[in-house]
Structure 1
């Protein structure tokens, strides 16, 4: 009945451009060069505006997203109650200029607002207007299905499974970097070398600073794509320099991450394994940290509407001995915001996590998901951290590892190519660690998201 209602209420449009619209996480990766300039429909004309010169055109697009959230016992009872909940809104709009085959400019504005919060909103939730992306791209070599190009300016970065570098889609404001990137792209290899500065969000209008140097990121990322039955492989090195606060060290850290990811997407069994080792220094301490993560799923060889059964698990190192001038706390760098669900209660620091889940495409437009997450501290002598790295509790004097259990479910409704609706519920049952830390109340969260992309 729900599927029938979805089809009746908002039937998907099928104009001539439908097969050419492919929205991507990184909007600058979309390609509308194949749209014919003389297309009759208005939307195609907006996505491909000819500029006279051969292979030159302007493409316009954007996104509008509204979210409503309601929490009971926010902060496990440590934060003020809000009986009415709060609203978040975000507007993104961009222009993509292609001049010939070998040069382009991409610009994107972002505006985000928060309403109804019990406490002042951070720049992550409220940033009235800023230049989110402004970059140029120029080919240095393009021949025989090989391409070497330079991408320079303010831009979003996203690598692999977004465990370490992400666009941060979950929170209200997406994140970006001022970066210079040299990228080689061929059929069986993609290699990216870059140097970047993280863009610190501010709550004014056009007040984000360019290349301020407060948080620096550099590295190389190499991807060998999946070929037939062989899995894809990522190899990378990432360097970080920024001020950080951990339970056992505070100061400017210089951290190096060596990692690999092995992944495969298939109709039956899919998997994603990733391992990272970190070293460096912070204040007077040396850094030695690591993480291993896994995401494996199985979809029965049945009809298209078969459910997907999966399990995720992560081992994320925490500090072992306070005061020994050796920091073992893993730093996830710039991860995706909704790391363990839209509620975003815990960050990927000092953690052991087991996370079974099921996803079912109820019909072509509706998907239902449910997951059950169990959390423990990896190290008894380290604390509990939020998604943004803020220290929730330093963990001192508490030997219990059990943080809690989280049950989440959501229903995603996509009535058409441009619209997306999502309803989500989360229950977090506190464990012994949180109760001994004075954070003993269970959290309940309900959220609703409505988004349109164009």
Structure 2
């Protein structure tokens, strides 16, 4: 592990020393844009692979890129002592390599992913997937100019919308999430709308075996409107999920679920905010679904104070099932959220939950940052259970009336070596509450994780 961290450091230093202009890497790597290099006649080796002209036509070019992430994690009291009350360490590594080819109105993007888990007991497919095609899609541009774009995209692709509460690339876990999908999207300077039909990929251990998933379908539309008076930005969306089998505390079977939601947000300036509401309806095994969530986040940055402290407060209410054994299900399904929902080593998923989450972050220097947040969790209803981020039922709520789950304190120390290489040390302590002590061993959980990430 030490040698690999050292290699990433050397690569980061090498690319930083040879770069003539700072690159910008997007969360969705197919959104990287290196066309600015076409006018540079003195490109170095790195810049030559980021912009490869394929003809005299400037709209014919290719680009190559990738990333590597290493993450060593040490835990104590896995699943609050129910799985292990001893300390345990393991190393997760993820490697991504992509090629992006533009041929006029056509564009193809291809990406491989390899996710490895060393020393982890019984790793899941999200932890370890030796090698597979992560993305492979074709774009056809019907309209594309400086003012607007209309594109049809088909093939295996990543999707990410809004605050990633419902649709995300699952960046936190070791294997990112992709979809076999057809998507039509339009955007201009003030709004964008997407319509898509997908089959979410079910990762399988092994090599090139993430086949077409017939057991789940996910489709809908997502619209973002910018420059709205007073509220700045607003998202409007409709999402529909079908799964051949879903498991909740009070329902098992075929699930048909629709989600209607809106989000009001602002991410620039001293004041930032994000307010979102979702209502879900449908059926699961002859039960009617009626679920909901409300989320609010607001923060303020004191730019004139030392270290520019940013103070934030997030609160969420996420519905759980009210009555066990009836023909109704009020358990909220977060669909395909970011995996690290409450911390890097996510213990709790966003369902049947009330949480209050104050935070503070400090910019210690140009390269160093520090963040501290504290989270308090309760079950929204005492008749429903506690779920993991993937909606696996961790503990049933049938035989307990305890509501308080516990509290969690997390700190993040970030170091950005350069535009290519970054390190994060995250530590977390979960103080078990009365619910965890009644349904299980209920020991306090601790983890520390060191992450190195290199992008090129």
Q: Which residue of 2 aligns with 1:3?
A: none
The whole-number CA distance in structure 1 between the counterparts of 2:400 and 2:315 is 24
Q: What is the distance in 2 between the residues matched to 1:146 and 1:408?
A: 42
Verify the 8 A CA contact 1:337 1:344 in the aligned structure 2.
yes
Partner of residue 295, structure 1: 297
8 Å Cα contact 2:303/2:309 also seen in 1: no
Question: What are the superposed Cα offsets for residues 274-328 of structure 1, whole Å, 9 maximum, x if unpaired?
Answer: 0000000000100000000011100124168411000111100000001111000
Match in the other structure for 2:92? 88
Q: Which moved more, 1:42-51 or 1:73-82?
A: 73-82
Residue 39 of structure 1 deviates from its aligned partner by: 3.1
> Which residue of the partner structure matches residue 177 of structure 1?
179
**Aligned partner of 1:57 among 55, 61, 86:** 61
Change (3 A) 1:238 1:81: same
Partners of 2:78 and 2:145 lie apart in 1 by: 56
Q: TM-score, normalised by structure 1?
A: 0.94
**Contact persistence 1:226–1:264 (CA under 8 A):** no
Residue 189 of structure 1: how far off its partner (Å): 1.1
Give distance in 2, aligned partners of 1:335 and 1:442: 26
Instruction: Find the counterpart in structure 2 of residue 68 from structure 1.
Output: 72
CA distance in 1, matches of 2:15, 2:356: 38
Distance in 1 between residues matched to 2:343 and 2:95, nearest whole Å: 22
Aligned residues: 443
Does 2:98 match 1:111?
no
Shift of 1:213: 2.1
**Which string of whole-angstrom CA distances, capped at 9 and with x for unpartnered residues, describes residues 317-341 of structure 1?**
0000011110000000000000000
Q: What RMSD in Å do the two structures reach over aligned CA positions?
A: 1.8
Does the aligned pair in 1 maintain the 2:95–2:113 contact within 8 Å? yes
Tell me the equivalent position of 1:424: 426
Point out where structure 2 has 5 or more consecutive residues left out of the alignment: 1-8
Distance in 1 (CA, whole Å) between partners of 2:156 and 2:341 is 24
Distance 2:321 2:231 in 1: 37
How many angstroms does 1:228 deviate by?
A: 7.8
**1: CA distance between counterparts of 2:290 and 2:206?**
38
The residue that corresponds to 1:384 in the other structure is: 386
- d(CA) in 2 for partners of 1:309 and 1:277? 29
2: distance between equivalents of 1:358 and 1:428?
Answer: 18
Which residue in the other structure is 1:214 paired with? 215
The equivalent residue for 1:223 is: 224
**2: CA distance, partners of 1:17 / 1:103:** 29
Alignment correspondent of 2:46: 43
Q: Distance between the aligned counterparts of 1:11 and 1:302, measured in 2?
A: 35
Partner residue in 2 for 1:269: 271
**CA deviation after TM superposition for structure 1 residue 226, in Å:** 3.9
Write the deviation string for residues 220-257 of structure 1: whole angstroms up to 9, x where unpaired: 00000246864100000000001210000001100000
Q: Give, in whole Å, the separation in 1 of the partners of 2:399 and 2:101.
A: 58
| Separation in 2, partners of 1:415, 1:207 | 36
Matched, 1:233 2:237: no
TM-score by length of 2: 0.94
Distance 1:143 1:172 in 2: 37
Tell me what 1:195 maps to.
Answer: 197
How big is the shift at 1:146?
A: 1.8
Question: How far is 1:343 from its partner?
Answer: 1.8
1:139-158 equivalence runs, <5 A: 139-142=141-144, 145-158=147-160
Q: Is the 8 A contact 1:165 1:334 kept in 2?
A: yes
Instruction: Identify the residue that residue 327 of structure 1 maps to in structure 2.
Output: 329
Q: Is the 8 A contact 1:39 1:45 kept in 2?
A: no
CA distance in 2, matches of 1:98, 1:143: 15
Look up the SS of the partner of 2:36 in the other structure. Answer: coil
Alpha-carbon offset, residue 82 of structure 1: 5.2
Residues 22, 228 of structure 1: alpha-carbon distance in 2 compared, 3 angstrom cutoff: farther
Structure 2 counterpart SS, 1:43: helix
Structure 1 runs of 4+ with >3 Å offset: 9-17, 81-84, 226-230
Classify the secondary structure of the residue corresponding to 2:67: strand
Aligned to 1:165: 167
1:77 aligns with 2:78: no
Give the deviation of 1:265 after TM superposition: 1.9
1:12 and 1:415 in contact (8 A); partners too: no
- 1:377-416 alignment, distance < 5 Å: 377-416=379-418
Residues 63 and 453 in structure 1, CA contact (< 8 A), matched pair in contact too: yes
* Per-residue CA distance 1:130-154 (angstroms, 9 max, x = gap): 0000001111123571221101100
C-alpha distance after superposition, 1:97-138 (max 9, x if no partner): 0112x2110000000110111x22111000000000000111
